Structure 1
């Protein structure tokens, strides 16, 4: 995010590790991130109604030199909100002092640090003239930028259809060295996940869980990416075009989200009409770390146990719908009920009542298909329904109720 870049595509980048002229192999990253071998170390799901102050601090104002980027907005806490499960940063036309726009910027500095592992956010970004939304990280080593290092996981500019990912580290003379790439996506303004993986050997970027490398060749000596260069070795490089202290990318980092207005890469300023606004939404941000060997072993054991349990589980379906074959009044205030036999049923439940809504009903459980119910009220009409049941692990599993039938007690 903090950079002064000319717009150019990094067409070819050699991502080898150089020590005194010796090139060594960089580890190959996964083409698809596998979070099943990781666990969530920290997350913010943005499920409340306000920003979690244990995780985030809003940054206010315009910083030094427009936050080092010649930005034109004034950041305010009021432009940040949490509702309906997402965090929202709203840029808008609003006059504050000499500034024509306000927006929001938050950081986790001093509260949440990201180390080795995988950090990912699900984000919906806007597309508008003169804006620069970003999800990025700055190093926590206490040094002045660029010596602290910077990792830009997601940046988008203006109405362009591409997403940019960038690493910053200090050259040996202390100046900023950066390597970046752009990826066009056809649906930039829809929900996507943007992530960064680091393990002390590489830094790799992902969109929707897929490695941001269009094509490239891995060899025993180095990685040559001829189109995109989202995968970087994090070892120091003493010679060549990209020489510098890249190992700063292995430090702990803190997180930032913001929507800049104007600035070095926004390609102009936003509209000045009073009803203009652009909002970035964040569904969640999660930091995963690798599971321990014991945790992976337990996962495997649980999977085996589940498969064994599934094999030994008998799926019991509910019995078929019951049917009342006959319902009639017999002498001395009795009614006789005969049911059709239901295959596999262990018994039947009869429900009867003196009103058709079955308010204040009585219940009779039977094992056979025929029953006589006594002591009914003479000259009263009774409504009756029945259902069959099976017994599963000591509990009854009922089928559907039969159609309701009625009988009047005449004798």
Structure 2
């Protein structure tokens, strides 16, 4: 049996997670110009992979049960139990099972509002909690869940503050609620107490997002058609929400406080998983429904290990510029942004929470704690004024002040409140440690959303792509697989590899194997190039269909039915571009260093981008794929080939 590695492999102790930050509200995709590319390093602190034997209940070492008619005043019809019939494992997943037929005699539920419990409960279900086993303040919280298809059931993955005060003062974070599982919308929201004068949306004494701003539609298909990864990143200054690796909303502490509302998210929270019945979700359409949970994982932010020197790219309104010292670094020299040309003033060393240029550290002047305090270069002393945290919404935060590095004045950077409207000036893409940035075992049967082996990125296939143990089958017309973010930075060194098998002999059109979307074209095409009649690595010099395209030549020609590992390695600092075939270098070229531009769209397999549209679809199968956020060594590329080739020798 082939195990779904994305679902069954635990996350490594330190994981890099790249996400993007958008304002609250529906968004179908990452819009051009939105911040993307920052990395946060995480350490896993808690998880449940639900691998206990079939018929087992949830692990009592990790989960407790809320039992009874819990009393949420919205007319729900379930009675929660601790019975295995309502929450059980099958060796790979947890199932929460809501059904009729075994409600304890005499149990009563509310009809609506604050009315007494006067009607018979219709279903039993389960609500699992960790308030006695696990709590955490800040971090990344995620679960891979398949919701039921029937309407009238209300699955949720959420968190509440410690029970030192009552709801809503104790706080609530809804990572995922699906009030109509047969539909396509996921609901999310942080919730706190509505103080006098609070101007945010209010209900039952609590504030939350407006209903239209707390709903996200991740795909055209109902959420119940497969598993989705629902997650959120919770920092002191903001909370972000994501589906399948795509961050679609961020709520900032400062914005909530400015609205006169309470922010209760500075304490430990515990987790909840439950399947409610009726109430806000409507009358149950069937007598039974199940919610399947593949895993729940929690991480905490970690200081990045090691030291790396590279440019720190500005994003959003600062796009195209880099963090720099205003002049030769000396005590008191201002920090600014300028064009991302090579040069010592743009080279930033990231080490142990410090950001260094020319041997001096970025320093909040006089250890200032107020917005508008300048940031300067100063002798490195490791004080709180020189500590910076790279957050997953692309912010660089000084924890001592709780303020973000801002480039609203590009000639004199300051720290400022971290808010939604200011974030476009507070988004950065710092250098990341040299490592494998993603690996997808695409030949493992996993549905249409595949988490990579680090748990950091999700590859989603569309257009009715079929899956089997011999890879993702693509028809060459409209089917492809994409991540929600670029994964790699196309202005820095990177390497991309994928196993491919064409169904037909090549002809007079290009076939894209991998690329990162720009606005008009892909930043690169690992592809079959019909002009040369060979596999190739093709790079446009700008984000335009009129750009000068440079392509490696001399690689072998594709053969229908043959598996090949294609690898492209790009080094913008020297302009070197190398194509590897089956683990060995086959052809190379040198590109002017000015030709590399930053693409902020999706990393895609099986297609490219042309004239603002998906194009050059690959006709065949795609197997295991990997990206590196640096120029991988020849030996590492060959090792990936040797480690995976046995899957395809007889396929």
CA contact (8 A) 1:32 1:210 kept: no
Q: Which secondary structure does the structure 1 equivalent of 2:183 belong to? A: coil
Query: Higher RCO, 1 or 2 (CA under 8 Å, sep at least 6)?
Result: 1
1:115, CA displacement in angstroms? 2.1
Q: Which residue matches 2:69?
A: 62
Of the candidates 310, 318, 324, which is equivalent to residue 635 of structure 2? 310
Aligned-partner Cα distance in 2 for 1:312–1:52 = 41
Of the candidates 302, 305, 311, which is equivalent to residue 294 of structure 1? 305
* Correspondence list, 1:321-336, <5 A: none
Q: Which residue matches 2:244?
A: 208
Aligned-partner Cα distance in 2 for 1:29–1:306 = 26
Aligned-partner Cα distance in 2 for 1:314–1:191 = 32
Q: Which residue matches 1:90?
A: 97
Q: Which residue matches 2:495?
A: none
1:308, CA displacement in angstroms? 5.8
Cα pair distance change 1:160/1:261, threshold 3 Å:
same
Q: Which secondary structure does the structure 2 equivalent of 1:294 belong to? A: coil
CA contact (8 A) 1:89 1:104 kept: yes
1:157 aligns with 2:179: yes
Partner deviation per Cα, 1:340-381 (whole Å, 9 max, x = no partner): xxxxxxxxxxxxxxxxxxxxxxxxxxxxxxxxxxxxxxxxxx
Aligned-partner Cα distance in 2 for 1:244–1:31 = 29
1:74 aligns with 2:110: no
1:235, CA displacement in angstroms? 3.3
Partner deviation per Cα, 1:252-282 (whole Å, 9 max, x = no partner): 211101110112x21x22146xxx3111001
Unaligned segments of structure 2, at least 5 residues: 1-22, 26-32, 106-119, 199-204, 309-350, 352-431, 437-628, 643-651
Q: Which residue matches 1:249?
A: 265
1:31, CA displacement in angstroms? 4.5
Q: Which secondary structure does the structure 2 equivalent of 1:310 belong to? A: helix
Of the candidates 190, 207, 215, which is equivalent to residue 177 of structure 1? 207
* Correspondence list, 1:129-278, <5 A: 129-140=151-162, 142-158=164-180, 159-173=182-196, 175-179=205-209, 180=211, 181-184=214-217, 185-187=219-221, 188-189=223-224, 190-212=226-248, 230-235=249-254, 237=256, 240=259, 243-246=260-263, 248-263=264-279, 265-266=280-281, 268-271=282-285, 276-278=287-289
CA contact (8 A) 2:24 2:251 kept: no
Aligned-partner Cα distance in 2 for 1:235–1:316 = 49
Q: Which secondary structure does the structure 2 equivalent of 1:142 belong to? A: coil
1:112, CA displacement in angstroms? 1.0
CA contact (8 A) 1:235 1:245 kept: no
Q: Which residue matches 2:46?
A: 42
After superposition, the CA RMSD in angstroms is 3.5
Partner deviation per Cα, 1:223-262 (whole Å, 9 max, x = no partner): xxxxxxx31012374554xx3112x123221110111011
Of the candidates 285, 294, 315, which is equivalent to residue 283 of structure 1? 294
Aligned-partner Cα distance in 2 for 1:306–1:160 = 43
Aligned-partner Cα distance in 2 for 1:151–1:172 = 18
Cα pair distance change 1:207/1:279, threshold 3 Å:
same
CA contact (8 A) 1:29 1:204 kept: no
Aligned-partner Cα distance in 2 for 1:312–1:163 = 40
* Correspondence list, 1:400-411, <5 A: none
Cα pair distance change 1:197/1:260, threshold 3 Å:
same
Aligned-partner Cα distance in 2 for 1:311–1:55 = 39
CA contact (8 A) 1:124 1:192 kept: yes
Aligned residues: 265
Cα pair distance change 1:315/1:72, threshold 3 Å:
closer
Higher Rg of the two aligned structures: 1
Aligned-partner Cα distance in 1 for 2:639–2:66 = 59
TM-score (norm 2): 0.37
Cα pair distance change 1:316/1:231, threshold 3 Å:
closer
Partner deviation per Cα, 1:57-81 (whole Å, 9 max, x = no partner): 02111123xx343311111222000
1:305, CA displacement in angstroms? 12
CA contact (8 A) 1:93 1:271 kept: no
Q: Which residue matches 2:59?
A: 52
TM-score (norm 1): 0.57
CA contact (8 A) 1:115 1:252 kept: yes
Q: Which residue matches 1:101?
A: 123
Q: Which secondary structure does the structure 2 equivalent of 1:270 belong to? A: coil
Q: Which secondary structure does the structure 1 equivalent of 2:134 belong to? A: coil
1:199, CA displacement in angstroms? 1.2
